[in-house]
Structure 1
Amino acid sequence: MFPAPWVCRRCATALAKPLRRQFLRYASTDAAAPNLPPALLQRARNLAAEHAALATTLEQSFDAKAAKRLGELSRVATALRSYDAARSSLAELTQLSESTDAELRQLAHDELASTHEQITNLATALSASLTPRDPYAQLPCLVEIRPGPGGQEGRYFADAVYKMYRAYCVRVGLRANTVKYEVADGAETAGGGAANESPLAEAVLEVLDEGAYDHFRSEAGMHRVQRVPATEKQGRTHTSAVAVWVLPSFPTSDSAGSAAMEADFDNPDSEFYIDPKDVRSEKMRAGGAGGQHVNKTESAIRLTHIPTGTVVSMQDSRSQHRNREDAWRLLRSRVAAQRREEQEKVANSLRNSVLAKNQITRGDKIRTYNYQQDRCTDHRSGVDVHNLPDVLLGGETLGRLMESARSWLVGRDVQALIVEEEIKAAEAEKGQGNGNGNGGGKKKK
C-alpha cells in the first residue's frame, strides 16, 4: 500500500471548496457566435423580401421574367431561412444554459458547440448565395495550355499539365475531348522532360459537361514548376511556367442547346458575336507528322480577328470543314474572354476598394509544383499538399487544391460584395445627411 501524497493544508482547503459559478464556462454565448457583416445580412433580407413578393405575384398571374427572377432568388431565400433558424436555436440554447435545472444546462452545453459550427457553415453558404453567379457558369469550357517562361523545360511541363487535367476529368467522370494538341517542331530529336512528356507547343482540352466552366475557372493563371531537368548535369533546379486559360464554350451544333448557341452567335449584343467581315480566313497545308496527306491537301485553317488581332489556327482534323468549325468555336471563346476582361477592368477601376490591388491576373503565378520537396502549393488559398505524383495524375490531391481555389474565389467575391454594399450604405447615409441638413436650414428660416 503506497502512502498518500502529501498536500499542504491551504491547497487541500482550496480544492475542497466548490467552484464559484462565475468562473464556470462551458461554451461560447451568443455574443461570440459568428455574425455576417450587417451590409450582407441586410442585402439578404432585401432579396428574401423580393422573393416573397414575387412568389405572391406569381400565384395570381404567371410571368416568365418574374419566374426566372424567382428562381435566381430562391438560393438566397433558402439560405437565409436556414441561417435564421440556426440563430434562433442558438438563442434558445443560450437561455437553457442559464437554467436552474442541471440536466437542461448540461444538454444545452452539449449542443452549443455543434450549433456554433452549423451557424458558421450556414453563414458561409449564405454569403456565397449572395454573390452573383458567373453568366457562363453552366457552360462547358475550353482549357488552353501553353508553355510560358522557361524554354524547353516549360514545354515539357505544359504536356504534364495537359495530361493532369485530362486524367482528372477521367477520374471524376467529366467528358473531355482534345480539340488541339500541337507538339513543338523538332520534338523527334529533342531530349529532356520526365517520362512520357513531349515538348508541347499548345493544347486545348474541351470539357463537355454543363457547369465545367464554373468547375475549372479557378485554374486560369500561371502554373510554376521547380524541378531538375533531365538534361541538367549539375543537378540544379530550374524554374519554368505554364499558362492556363479557361474559356466558356457553347455546345456544338449537333448537341443539345444548339438553338441557344446560334441565337447568341447571331446576337450583336452577345459577347460571343463576331462579324464575319472582321475575320480573315486562310487555308494552309497542315504540318507535322501525318504522312503524305498533310503535304497534299489544304486542310488547315487559320482565322484572324482583325479588330483584336486574335489568331487561331487548327489542323488536328483531316477535314477542312471540321477544322473550320473548331477554329471558329475557339475564336469566339477567346474574343468573348477578352471582352469580359475589358469589362472587368472597367468595373474594377470604378470600385473604390483595396480589392482591385489583390486581384489575380494571368501574369501572376497561382500554383507551384516543386518536385524536390514533393510539394504543390496554391498561392491564393494558401493550401500545401505533399503528394505531387497524385496531383500530376489528377488524383484526389489535385481535387483538394481545385476545391480550395474555388473557395478562395467565392471568398474574394464575398469581400467585393461587402465593399460594394458598404459603399452604397455610406452614400445613402451621406444623401440622407444632406437632406436633413437642408431641411434643418429651412426650419431655421
Structure 2
Amino acid sequence: MKPRIFHPDRREVLAGLLAGLGASAAGAMVGGATPPVTAQLALQARASTLALKPGQPATPIWELAAASHLRDVRLRRGDRCEVVFQNDLPVPLAPVWYGLNGPVTTDPLRGRAPAPPNAVETSIISVSNAGTLLADFRLFEDGLKHPARPLPVIAAETSPVAADRDEVLLIEEWRLRPDGTAVPPGQDPKDATPLYTVNGQTSFELSASGHQRLRLRFINGSQRTVLAIKLEGYDVRVLALDGQPAEPFSARNGALVLAPGARADAVVDAAASAQFLLHDGKAAQPIGSLKISDQLERRVPLAPPQPLPSNDLPERLDLRGALRFDVALGAPDVGWARPVNFSTASAPAFRARTGRTVVLALKNPAPVTTVFHLHGHPFRLLDKLDDGWKPYWLDTLAIEPGQTHRIAFAATASGRWLLESVATDWAAPRLVRWYAVE
C-alpha cells in the first residue's frame, strides 16, 4: 500500500503542533498545575488505496493513520498522551478508542463534536492500562464513503515481558465489487465477495528464527464477522484478551476465536514454518505464513510463558450485592439508535453508583449472532449458573441467536459511557445506547 504523501504545509502543521505540545508539556512540569505530557501522537484521517486483487486497480479506502510513527504506535502504561488529530476527509470524524478504559477525553457521541473536514484538534488521553488497543472510525459508519482501516495501538507494560519479538497482526474484512471497489459496512453488499487481509496483505508472511519466542497481537479489525485464526501445528498460548492480562492458557484446538473489534495477545515458540489459517464460519482458508529463516541459539531453554503484569483490576466482584439490569441487544423500542441519531438526551440503559458491581443480562433476539461492546469498563463473562466467572476479562462479546449471556463489571470510572450492538450481517446498522456511572 502506498499511503497518500503529506503536502509540505500539512507536514509543517503537524510538526509545529507536536513542537508546541512539547513546550506545553514542559511548562506543565515546571508549573506543577497539571501532570506532564509524557507522549505525543499525531493522527490523520486520510484517503488511501489498498491492492486487494491482482490485475485490478488498487481499491480506494479511508484510513486512520499515525503521521508521527513509521511503524506500530507504541505507548506505555501510565502515559499521559497528547493527541493531534487532523481530518483530511470530507466528512466529520474523530478517533474512537477501544480498550482505553477509565477516565478519558469525551468521545464524539458523548458530547464532543467530531472534527469537521480540514480541521486539526488536540486532546489528551490517559493510558491507564497496558494492552492491545484499537482506534477506529466505526461509530461513523453512516457517513463513510469508503471502508475505513482502524489503527492498532500498543500500550506497553512498565516491566519487560519475556519475548524476542512483538508483532501486530491486524485482520481485516473487505467486500469487493466486480470492479474492485469496496462496499462500506452497513450497506447492502449485493454482488460483492468477501476478502480478508492481515496487515493489509492478502498473503501475509512473518519471518522468524527458530527458537524465537513470538508475542503475536491478533486483532479482528473486521466490521461484522466473527473469525477464528490458528497457526497450523502450533500450541498457541493466550496471555491477554481485549487488552487485559489472563492466566496463560492454550487456545482450544490452537484457534483464537475473535469477535469484530476483539483482540488476543498470544505467544508461540517458533519451531517450523507453518500457515496461518482463517475460518470465517463458512470455510477455512490460508491467509499467511510463518517462515523460519534460520535457528537462534539459546543457552537456556525457554521457560513456560508467565502471566503479564496486572492492570490492577479487582480480583473479585460482589455478585451478591450487584445491581442487575436486562439489556436486549439491538431492539429499537428500548432505546438503541444509529450513531448519527444518538443523543445523551435519550434515556440511559441503566445508572450505577461508582464502586458498585453491575451485572448485565445480554439477550440477543436477532436471528443472527450479534456483537456487544462495552465502553469504559472491562467485564467478566459469568458462568451459566451465575456463581462465578471465566478467568479473563473482555470488552467485546459475540452472542448467538436467542441466547442470553451475563456479564459483570466494577463501575469504577464515573461518566457517561457507550454500549454498542451490531448484528453479524454486512448490511446491519451499528447501534448504540449509553449508561451512567455517578
Shorter chain as denominator, the TM-score bin is: under 0.3
Q: Which has the higher strand share?
A: 2
Q: Which has the higher helix share?
A: 1
